[in-house]
Amino acid sequence: MTNTDILAALQWRYGVKTFDTEKKVSEEDLATILESARLAPSSFGIEPWKFIVVNNPELRQKIRAAGYDQTKITDASHLIVIADRTDAEALTGELVDRTAKAQGKAPEDFAMLQNMVSGAIASKPEGMARDAFLTAQTYIPLGMMIETAALLGVDAGPMEGFDPVQVTSILGLEDKHLRAVTMLALGYRGDDAFAALPKTRRAHDEVIEVMN
């Protein structure tokens, strides 16, 4: 893929509000978009997240009621809820275990990693600051899913405008130490007035500075 192709895809994409209710994203494209999220990097590799594909129509109706009645929540081909982990204390052990497994070693061989990561997490005071650190990580796979979708010609509607407490409850995420952070509707743009509007972005020099 050339530089021009990548930029054309990112210029083509926008946050779709009204989706075509008939067109479905293929299983192959959905799998590639989800795999982009799974492969996303995170601080120390802790991957403090989960991606929930909500196909159940009743659940989507309930989420829509908790999401300012946005039609894309029920009408898009797919809805992915991006959740972060609320059990920070479990993340380090999990990281050590899977790193050891991937390298065919014993978890005990990763004492330095264990100390570094648990120390880094503990250095962020419990509560708001630690939560924010974990929450922010989930925007990396969100960005990557949006880009992958665009590259595949799949439309996406990212959402923060919903009640995360309600959506967490609707999906029964609390018991799994998860909390809904953002949502991503996937599908194909329908008769959407926003499609015709010019892209609004800050000018290059407003957001990019070079210090030589």
Q: Binding mask 97-136 vs its own copies (x if CB under 8 A, - otherwise)?
A: -xx--xx----------------x-------xx-xx--xx
Using rule CB under 8 A, residue 38 touches its own copies:
yes
Among 19, 25, 36, 76, binds its own copies (CB under 8 A): 36
Select from 18, 25, 50, 66 the one that contacts its own copies (CB under 8 A).
50
Q: How far is the CB of 45 from its own copies (least distance, A)?
A: 6
Site for its own copies in 145-204 (CB under 8 A): 146-148, 151-152, 158, 160-161, 171, 197-202, 204
Q: Are 50 and 87 in contact (CB under 8 A)?
A: no
Interface pick for its own copies out of 7, 106, 111, 165 (rule CB under 8 A): 7
User: Which of these segments, 24-32, 69-77, 187-195, binds its own copies (CB under 8 A)?
Assistant: 24-32
Name the residue among 131, 139, 41, 51 with its Cα closest to residue 86.
Answer: 131
Contact 178, 85 (CB under 8 A): yes
**Sheet with 155-159, side-by-side order of all strands:** 78-85, 178-187, 155-159
Residue 87 sits in the site that holds its own copies (CB under 8 A): no
Which single residue is written with the structure tokens 């991006």?
Answer: 82
Count of residues binding its own copies (CB under 8 A)?
Answer: 76
* Intra-chain end-to-end CA distance of the chain, in Å: 30
Q: Give the separation between CA 184 and CA 176, rounded to whole angstroms.
A: 21
